[in-house]
Amino acid sequence: TEEEVHERLDTKMTAAFNAVYDMHVAKNVDMREAAYLVAVKRVADAMKLRGWV
């Protein structure tokens, strides 16, 4: 249903925001740079799992 979609979207968006905010606080950078750092970390983690690095 539409409500379930909104619930799942809210969960994912909240988790994404929290990851960026936590990086912002931990590294003392602005939110834009924190979002970039989170994205690069996700790619690096995926590459490690695949054995590419």
Locate the domains of the chain by residue range: 2-49
The rounded distance, in Å, linking the Cα atoms of 51 and 27 is 27
Which amino acid does the sequence have at 27?
K
The rounded distance, in Å, linking the Cα atoms of 13 and 19 is 10
Q: What is the pLDDT along the chain (53 residues), one digit of tens a residue?
A: 999 999 999 999 999 999 999 999 999 999 999 999 999 999 999 999 999 98
The rounded distance, in Å, linking the Cα atoms of 25 and 31 is 9
The rounded distance, in Å, linking the Cα atoms of 33 and 23 is 9
The model carries a pTM of 0.84
The rounded distance, in Å, linking the Cα atoms of 33 and 24 is 8
